[in-house]
Amino acid sequence: MREIKDAGRRRGDHSTMDQPLAQPCRIYVVDDDSAVRQALAFALDLEGFDVETFESGEALLLRDPPDAPGCLVIDERLPGITGLDTLRQLRARQVMLPAVFVTSHPKPSFREAAAQAGTPIVEKPLEGETLISAIYRVLDRRTP
How would you write the pLDDT of the chain (144 residues) with one tens digit per residue?
Answer: 333 333 333 333 443 333 344 456 899 999 999 999 999 999 999 999 999 999 999 999 999 888 778 999 999 999 999 999 999 999 999 999 999 999 999 999 999 999 999 999 999 888 778 999 999 999 987 544
Q: Summarize the chain as % helix, strand, coil (round to 5).
A: 40, 20, 40
User: Residues 120, 134: contact at Cβ < 8 Å?
Assistant: yes
For residue 104, give every residue at least 6 positions away whose Cβ sits within 8 Å of its Cβ, in sequence order, or none.
77, 123, 124, 125
Sign of CA dihedral 59, 33, 125, 112: negative
Q: pTM for the full model?
A: 0.81
CA dihedral 39, 44, 50, 54 (to 10 degrees): -40
